[in-house]
Amino acid sequence: MKNIDSRSHVRGESVYLDDIPVVQGTLYACVFDSPVAHGKLKSIDTSAAEKSEGVFRVITAKDIVGENQIGGIVPDEPLLADTEVHFQGMPIAIVLAASEALSHKAAKLITAEIDELEVVTDPRVAAANGDLIVPPKKFVMGDTADAFANCEHIFEGKTEQNGQEHLYIETQGAYAVPMENGGMRVYSSTQGPTAVQRAVCRVTSLAMHQVEVDVQRLGGGFGGKEDQANAWAGIVAVATQLTKRPVKYALHRMEDMRATGKRHPYSSDYKIGLDKDLKIIAYEASFFQNAGASCDLSPPVLERTLFHCTNSYFIPNVTATAYCCRTNLPPNTAFRGFGGPQGMFVIESAITHAAEKLGVSPVEIQKRICSKTGDEFPYGQIADSEAVTSWTQADKKYDFAALQREADEFNASSKHLKKGVALMPICFGISFTKTPMNQARSLVHVYTDGSVAVSTGAVEMGQGVNTKMAQVAAKMFGLDIGHVRVHTTNTLRIANTSPTAASAAADLNGKATQLACETIRDRLFEVAKDLVEAASIEDLSLESGFVYRKGEKTSLDWPTLVMEAHLQRVNLSEHSHYATPGIGFDWTTAKGHPFAYHVYGTAIVGVTVDCLRGRYEVDYVKCCHDFGTSMNTAVDLGQIEGGIVQGLGWVTMEEVVYDEKGKLRSNALSTYKVPDIYSVPKDIDVLALETDRNNLAIFNSKAVGEPPLMYGIGAYFAIRNAVKAFTDCSPAFDLPFTPEKVLTNLYPDGDTLR
């Protein structure tokens, strides 16, 4: 089963926001955004822009009909700056013109008088100033103070992690078209159609039933459009409301890069304690999250850092504290892994630190603490663990010791090329940690020709969720996938959707689709029962387009059955709702059972470092991954490969650079390097950990969107090991490990010719 979009993607026929045919009279928006990261906005001069060729109107904060606010969790984010600017790239005014080129030209003519204020870009400085967006969050299990007193070895240290640009191929954008009675339809490149609908209603004062949001698909989201599509939809909606004209805005790459938030940088402290058998018995960590200028999704991202701060390990005594620090950078936001990778890097760094000091391989420590079924996570959930099974199966197939030996032997005879190997286990909780978000709806129509239309709240962004939705309907009705069409994600057909995020879209929307199909199927069976003279509907099944009775094919085919049901006035449509059972979390105790299940896996990453130049290549990523029972191995393998490459890009070459004034320096593809075909691992080998253990995943096919990204973290540790094979050093736990940083670690004295 392939991805149903492959053909139209390859032929360039798939429709993205910018491919939607525009309506006559469409105006093109462009924002004038703040050139200053922090300051009092005294005045805005739009006169030159208003006189510029083709300009229809310029809009500022005072024109907004509704509330000038899009902050979802904390109301700290005006749509347009009114009295203050708090990051470079913050929208101040909207220019509307007859073409995209003319609106961009006019936006450059706008000026603003801004009294500059102090710019903070460092989360620790913000924390020291007491500038936290929400109060600190804390997880406690056992008693670390007590446990440290009994430790044989204690190590303390610090880690730094940089951000990451989403670099979805399709930039942010939206297109609003006025409808009668003051309503509007908004096409948006968003992961969260309902979030866009709410934001549009807030800034226009329209009721939600007046605003239709429609999403065909995204050219990638990666979390960057979970919350941050709202601003651009809000901007075109405000403009449409004021002008009664269709308004479109598809951002240029550099606008997108400077105006949108990224993965959160973190600065963290750790303290780790081991007993005499090298078992970790105590772990303390403090996470300083660089949230940027407004709240956005920073608190739940921070929470997931805590949820994943012990990765796949069981540590009996844990205290983890997390600080959401306000800085003058664009608001950082969801990014594949959602704070989980940041938590995992710190524990892996702490383990590596301990191993280095104790003169053992980190593997010796990692293997002693793999969680087992029945172990408790610091947040109270009891593990149903595949940490050991994925480790054992990976070791059996790939032979960790042999791979290490191969690297050691290579290094013994190679002067300037050094190989490094590292083991990277993962454990990722599936469900939104905010329990109410774990619900979804699906609308299924069976038409009288036998074709099937499915609409859900899931947004297709390349991850293949539409293919999975079509598979669910096809399987439930015993049809070929060609009979099923998955339609746009639309707030009129599916209301109150959660964003497509948390890797949970296929589970939540797939289960809702399954329920809808089941209901229709049972109605059809009632009709079929008489037609094929079955004793009970229990005897009936649908396979390969025919009704089967007690496993035997009858002559009643699907289109005939459907038409007969229609003639008998049987309802051939169903709208179903699914809510994940058995989950919940109580923040007053910071304990509960937040996740439907966890996804596990164990990867081994091998690299070669060119110790003359500091450059490196990833030779392989071999992993045993917990799929449950994959319902689409092609799609899931694609997710694993993409996730790994995106993860290792974050820890190696992707370097987001802001200067001390809060100006983004890595603001284009010429200054921000993402992995390309030459830098992907030469070998990605995936062993399926196939289990028939029951879980809450759709068809037992576990969520796969985010977890594999964290295998990529292993590349940092593998490179570090290679560097240490060249020279006696202890590189800082500082991401990304760019070739420049590798080189300075290889030659700490700057002497490159030894």
Q: At closest approach, how far in Å is the CB of 161 from ligand LUZ?
A: 17
502 touches ligand LUZ (CB under 6 A)? yes
CA distance 203 to 236: 11
User: Residue 465 interacts with ligand MTE (CB under 6 A)?
Assistant: yes
Q: Does 300 participate in binding ligand LUZ (rule CB under 6 A)?
A: yes
Select from 394-402, 431-439, 571-579, 623-631 the region that touches ligand LUZ (CB under 6 A).
Answer: 431-439
**CA pair distance 344, 711, nearest whole angstrom:** 10
**Closest separation between CB of residue 453 and ligand MOS, Å?**
26
Tell me the one-letter amino acid at 352.
T
- For residue 308, the 8-state DSSP code is T
CB 63 → ligand MTE: shortest distance, Å?
34
Give the residue nearest to ligand LUZ (CB): 338
Note whether 502 and 464 are within 8 A (CB).
no
- Residue 729's alpha-carbon distances to 237, 349, 616, in angstroms, are 56, 15, 18
In this chain, which of 56, 249, 338, 477 binds ligand MOS, going by CB under 6 A? Answer: 338
Q: Residue 300 touches which of ligand MOS, ligand MTE, ligand LUZ, none (CB < 5 to 8 A by kind)?
A: ligand LUZ
What does the alpha-carbon distance between residue 139 and residue 319 come to, in Å, rounded to a whole number? 6
Q: If we measure between CA atoms, which residue out of 721, 739, 727 comes closest to residue 352? A: 721
Residues 138-197 that bind ligand MOS (CB under 6 A): 191
Q: How many angstroms separate the CA atoms of 232 and 199, rounded?
A: 10
Closest distance to ligand MTE from the beta carbon of 59 (Å): 31
> Least distance (Å) from ligand MOS to the CB of residue 300?
10
- What is the spatial distance between Cα 653 and Cα 631, in angstroms, rounded to a whole number? 34
Q: b/e per residue, 25-44, with b = 16+ CB within 10 A? A: ebbbbbbbbbbbbbbebeeb
Residue 723 contacts ligand MOS per CB under 6 A: no
Non-local (6+) Cβ contacts of 746 within 8 A are 609, 611, 614, 723, 726, 727, 729
Type of residue numbered 103:
S
If one asks whether residue 334 binds ligand LUZ (CB under 6 A), the answer comes out as yes
595 is a contact residue toward ligand MOS (CB under 6 A): no
The strand pair at 173-178 and 55-60 is best described as unpaired
Whichever of 56 and 335 has its CB closer to ligand MOS, that residue is 335
**Is residue 264 a contact residue for ligand LUZ (CB under 6 A)?**
no
Q: How far, in Å, CA of 464 to CA of 639, rounded?
A: 9
Q: Which residues pair with 188 in a beta bridge?
A: 174
Task: Say how far apart CA 143 and CA 182 lie, in whole Å.
Answer: 60
Task: Provide, rounded to whole angstroms, the least separation between the CB of residue 433 and ligand LUZ.
Answer: 4
User: Nearer to ligand MOS by C-beta: 58 or 704?
Assistant: 704
Question: How far is CA 45 from each of CA 55, 113, 255, 392, 497, rounded to the nearest angstrom?
Answer: 15, 8, 21, 66, 40
Q: For ligand MTE, which stretch binds (CB under 6 A), given 496-504, 564-572, 577-585, 627-635? A: 496-504
Tell me: does residue 705 bind ligand MTE (CB under 6 A): yes
125: Cα within 13 Å, side-chain hemisphere:
9
Q: Indicate which single residue of 504, 520, 561, 648 sits in contact with ligand MTE (rule: CB under 6 A).
A: 504
From the list 17, 117, 689, the residue with the least C-alpha distance to 385 is 689
Minimum CB distance to ligand MOS smaller for 340 or for 362: 340
Two tokens at 50?
A: 């208003």
User: Does 432 help bind ligand LUZ (rule: CB under 6 A)?
Assistant: yes
Per the listing, tokens 């949230």 go with 291
Closest to ligand LUZ by CB, 335 vs 616, is 335
Query: Three-state SS for 95?
Result: strand
Give dist(CA 99, CA 245) in Å, integer.
Answer: 13
Closest CB 497 distance from ligand LUZ, rounded Å: 12
8 A C-beta contact, residue 463 and residue 457: no
- Encoding tokens for residue 457? 């709240």
- Under the criterion CB under 6 A, does residue 341 sit at the interface with ligand LUZ? no
How many residues form the binding site for ligand MOS (CB under 6 A)? 11
Question: Does residue 501 bind ligand MOS (CB under 6 A)?
Answer: yes
Judged by CB under 6 A, which stretch of 221-229, 425-433, 627-635, 728-736 contacts ligand MTE?
Answer: 221-229
- Residue (434 or 724) nearer to ligand LUZ, CB: 434
460 binds, among ligand LUZ, ligand MTE, ligand MOS, none (CB under 5 to 8 A by kind): none
505 scored as a contact of ligand MTE (CB under 6 A) = yes
Q: For the window 216-235, what string marks contact with ligand LUZ as x by the rule CB under 6 A?
A: ----------x---------
- Site membership for ligand MOS, residue 223 (CB under 6 A): yes
**Residue of 77, 255, 386, 706 marked active site:** 706
Task: Decide if 740 is catalytic.
Answer: no
In this chain, which of 502, 604, 611, 618 binds ligand MOS, going by CB under 6 A?
502
Interaction between residue 639 and ligand MTE (CB under 6 A): yes
Report residue 450 CA to chain centroid gap.
36
Nearer to ligand LUZ, 74 or 278 (CB): 74
Q: Residue 76: CB partners within 8 Å, gap ≥ 6? A: 133, 294, 295
Q: Which is closer to ligand MOS, CB of 220 or CB of 316?
A: 220
**Number of other residues whose CB lies within 10 A of the CB of residue 360:** 12
- If one asks whether residue 326 binds ligand LUZ (CB under 6 A), the answer comes out as no
**Rule CB under 6 A: is residue 336 a binding residue for ligand MOS?**
yes
Stretch that binds ligand LUZ, among 193-201, 430-438, 464-472, 597-605 (CB under 6 A): 430-438
- Per-residue binding string, ligand LUZ, 3-32, x by CB under 6 A, is ------------------------------
Degrees (nearest 5) of the Cα angle 177, 181, 185?
25
Counted residue by residue, the chain has a size of: 754
Q: Is 310 in the site for ligand MOS (CB under 6 A)?
A: no
* Residue 336 is a binding residue for ligand MTE (CB under 6 A): yes
Q: How far is the CB of 9 from ligand MTE (least distance, A)?
A: 11
334 touching ligand MOS, by CB under 6 A: yes
CA contacts within 13 A on the Cβ side of 130: 0
The two three-digit tokens of residue 181, written as one number: 């009675």
Contacting ligand LUZ within 459-488 (CB under 6 A): none
HSE-up of residue 538 (Cα within 13 Å, Cβ side):
2
Give the Cα separation of 197 and 121 in Å (integer): 32
* HSE-up of residue 283 (Cα within 13 Å, Cβ side): 30
Binding site for ligand MTE (CB under 6 A): 220-223, 336, 461-463, 465, 500-506, 639, 642, 703, 705-706
> Would you name the residues annotated as active-site residues?
706
Binding site for ligand LUZ (CB under 6 A): 226, 297, 300, 304, 334, 338, 432-434, 501-502
